[in-house]
Amino acid sequence: MPVAQVGGDIVGARLLALNGAGAAVAGASTVVDKTIEVLTQFLFSLLGVGLILLVSSDRTLGWAVALALLIFCPMLVGFIIAQRMGMFRLLERLLLRLEANSAWLRLGDVTGLHDTILRLYRDRRGLMIGTFYHLVTWMLGIGELWLAVHFMGYEMTLVAATIIESMSQAVRSAGFFVPASLGVQEGGYLVFGMLFGLSPEVALALSLVRRVRQLLVGVPALVAWQYYEGRRIVVARQNSVTPDR
């Protein structure tokens, strides 16, 4: 969702809870999944930085990105430690208070959110599978970019595609506070695309191609979500109406 890139996770947790997962499990699985996503993207970005330093004649940009990742690393580690130390116990209490005052948030009892998060982290097999799927997803993005460039009539090596994709995604994540990363994503493609010989026009067109994919996936999902929520409201109102006698 174009809401600082966090709205979709909240909706996902809500739909999980409404479909039988329970509020605690839905919230915990979303938190752990998001943590794995950020961690794997960090590794994906490290891959891009390493390739820049290996193949680029101008390593200034690579070292600048490496410094940014070095600054981000303690934040990522701190977030993981905070989860284990009880950060989400506070969130758990807040959600319980909100649930008591909001019909929209009445998804079930979130008691045990913190304990469920810790239980998921102890499931090493599940963590490895989740990490694997996220890494595969990042790698598929490389293929998507390479194919887009190819069908636009240009040739690009997989190394170059890896660097552009990993760095552009890192820039997009860094601008998470910008709705839908409008302009941020395009800037990333411009900077790193030009590093490998793409003209500004081609780099911008490449970003717009990726936007089309986002719309093709995102718009039907938003429509389906609204239909689902609307149907629940209608059914709830029908059930609450007492037939006239």
Q: Identify the pLDDT of residue 73.
A: 84
Residue 158 maps to a domain: yes
- List of the chain residues with pLDDT < 50: 4, 245
Domain count, the chain: 1
Q: Identify the pLDDT of residue 162.
A: 92
Q: Identify the pLDDT of residue 183.
A: 67
Q: Identify the pLDDT of residue 126.
A: 92
Terminal CA-CA length for the chain: 46
Q: Identify the pLDDT of residue 36.
A: 92
Q: Identify the pLDDT of residue 136.
A: 94
Quote the domain boundaries for residue 219: 7-238
Q: Identify the pLDDT of residue 105.
A: 52
Residue 245 maps to a domain: no
Q: Identify the pLDDT of residue 52.
A: 86
Residue 243 maps to a domain: no
Segment 87-103, tens digit of pLDDT: 777 776 766 666 655 55
> Which candidate, 187, 177, 186, places its Cα nearest to that of 211?
186
